[in-house]
């Protein structure tokens, strides 16, 4: 193996975590701002019925006697649905017509495994391909860059050299030492030296004078995300991961906490982006939903259909989308789950196609197995 090839391989592992711009952007129009896409993946399967509540379903209180208590302050939205009381900022976006939600949607995945379900969603294909992700294909199709705010490179970015990942670290002294060592190693390779320098610029810009004091809550990560997007105009696609949604027990308290973090995070993202919010699409999805009936430990188990959010400054929000299937016993999927009536990946394809003005062939290259809907989502 040649020395230069070895250095590049080492660089991909050592620098990736702290070099969001490992691959320089090739932006054709410097005067025109990129339209951005931020995908928030809620790992753990969110209970859509606890998030976007079908208040018109009278039988829900008998199927969820414990979970429905404490939701009196839920926010009324469209068609007698309600948002969970923790979603104050999302409700405000809904009223401003900058956010909508989709009910009774699923990816088409037939099982109940978190890992398989997430792989299916990140791949965006009819059967999960661990070597190809839909965000990676989108970057390849458009020739733009992306960053995942994550500790490891997600499946969604695979099969593309245009994506990288970054996660705030508290080990600043060791990072600085590593950066110095790498600088010495890369001094004779112009491309690697520039990549390292670009990554260090982002780290320094984010940490500022408060090195080591930044927390890694989801709200803070969204703030970091906005900082990165503002400082790097070449980044078009961003992926954020949110955990803690697997609520088999004590769901009420846990979900309230996680939804509050999500709500605060999206508010921080909008605030940090400023005017660029008008050029940004935000998608919030999970691998599947949860059972309609609560279990014996104050929680719910792995289900099928759930809900998702679509937001952004140019989004035609203020509505609840999707067809409601009902929760009568004979209407439940396998007598336990909310029946899916639309496809999550098709909704993602619809939003991407309209927001980014993609051609039919471009959207087909990103999502070869799922077609976009005809619903108009953007001005």
Whether the Cβ atoms of residue 236 and residue 146 lie closer than 8 Å to each other? yes
pLDDT at 41: 98
Assign 176 a pLDDT band (cuts: 50, 70, 90): low
pLDDT tens digits, one per residue of 249-265? 999 999 999 999 999 99
Structure tokens at 44: 């753990």
Q: Has residue 98 got a pLDDT over 50?
A: yes
pLDDT at 15: 40
Closest listed residue to residue 19, CA positions, set 232, 215, 266: 232
pLDDT at 193: 64
Domain segments of the chain: what residues? Answer: 32-171+215-366
Q: Has residue 284 got a pLDDT over 90?
A: yes
pLDDT at 212: 40
Q: Can you spell out the DSSP letters for 210-267?
A: -TT----SHHHHHHHHHHHHHH-TTEEEEEEEE-----SSSHHHHHHHHHHHHHHHHH
Assign 272 a pLDDT band (cuts: 50, 70, 90): very high
Q: Which residues contact 41 (CB under 8 A, 6 or more apart)?
A: 118, 121, 122, 154, 156, 239, 240, 241, 242, 285, 286
pLDDT tens digits, one per residue of 311-347? 999 999 999 999 999 999 899 999 999 999 999 999 9
Mean pLDDT of the chain: 87
pLDDT tens digits, one per residue of 56-69? 999 999 999 999 99
Whether the Cβ atoms of residue 239 and residue 41 lie closer than 8 Å to each other? yes
CA 116/CA 105 separation, integer angstroms: 17
Query: How large a percentage of the chain has pLDDT more than 70?
Result: 80
Verdict on whether the full-model pTM lies above 0.85: no
Closest listed residue to residue 101, CA positions, set 81, 124, 74: 81
pLDDT at 211: 43
Topology of domain 32-171+215-366, CATH: Alkaline Phosphatase, subunit A (3.40.720)
Closest listed residue to residue 37, CA positions, set 129, 127, 157, 128: 157
pLDDT at 139: 98
pLDDT at 33: 81
pLDDT at 70: 87
Higher pLDDT among residues 171 and 131, named by residue? 131
CA 42/CA 285 separation, integer angstroms: 6
Assign 294 a pLDDT band (cuts: 50, 70, 90): very high
Q: Has residue 71 got a pLDDT over 50?
A: yes
Assign 14 a pLDDT band (cuts: 50, 70, 90): very low
Most confident of 102-106, 172-176, 184-188, 224-228: 102-106
pLDDT tens digits, one per residue of 184-242? 676 667 667 666 666 655 655 555 444 443 445 899 999 999 999 999 999 999 999 99
């Amino acid at each position: 193996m040649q020395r230069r090839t070895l250095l590049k391989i080492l660089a991909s592992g050592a620098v990736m975590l702290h070099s969001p711009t490992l691959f320089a952007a090739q932006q054709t129009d410097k005067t025109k701002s990129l339209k951005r896409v931020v995908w928030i993946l809620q790992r753990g399967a969110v209970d859509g019925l606890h998030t976007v509540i079908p208040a018109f379903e009278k039988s829900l209180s008998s199927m969820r006697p414990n979970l429905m208590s404490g939701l009196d302050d839920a926010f009324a939205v469209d068609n007698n649905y309600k948002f969970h009381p923790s979603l104050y900022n999302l409700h405000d976006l809904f009223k401003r017509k900058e956010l909508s939600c989709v009910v009774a949607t699923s990816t088409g995945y037939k099982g109940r495994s978190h890992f398989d379900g997430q792989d299916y969603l990140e791949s965006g294909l009819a059967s999960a391909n661990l070597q190809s992700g839909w965000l990676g294909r989108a970057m390849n199709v458009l020739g733009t860059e992306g960053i995942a705010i994550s500790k490891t490179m997600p499946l969604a970015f695979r099969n593309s050299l245009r994506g990288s990942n970054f996660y705030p670290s508290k080990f600043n002294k060791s990072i600085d030492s590593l950066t110095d060592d790498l600088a010495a190693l890369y001094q004779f390779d112009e491309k690697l030296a520039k990549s390292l320098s670009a990554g260090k610029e982002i780290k320094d810009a984010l940490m500022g004078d408060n090195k080591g004091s930044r927390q890694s809550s989801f709200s803070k990560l969204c703030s970091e995300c906005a900082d990165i997007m503002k400082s790097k105009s070449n980044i078009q696609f961003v992926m954020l991961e949110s955990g803690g949604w697997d609520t088999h027990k004590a769901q009420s308290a846990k979900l309230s906490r996680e939804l509050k973090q999500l709500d605060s995070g999206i508010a921080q993202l909008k605030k940090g982006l400023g005017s660029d919010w008008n050029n940004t699409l935000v998608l919030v999805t999970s691998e599947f939903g949860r059972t309609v009936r609560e279990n014996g430990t104050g929680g719910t188990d792995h289900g099928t259909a759930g809900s998702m959010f679509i937001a952004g400054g140019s989004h035609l929000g203020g509505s609840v989308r999707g067809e409601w299937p009902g929760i009568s016993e004979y209407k439940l999927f396998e007598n336990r789950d909310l029946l899916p009536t639309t496809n999550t990946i098709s909704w993602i394809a619809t939003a991407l196609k309209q927001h980014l003005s993609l051609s039919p062939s471009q959207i087909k290259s990103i999502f070869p197995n799922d077609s976009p809907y005809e619903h108009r989502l953007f001005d």
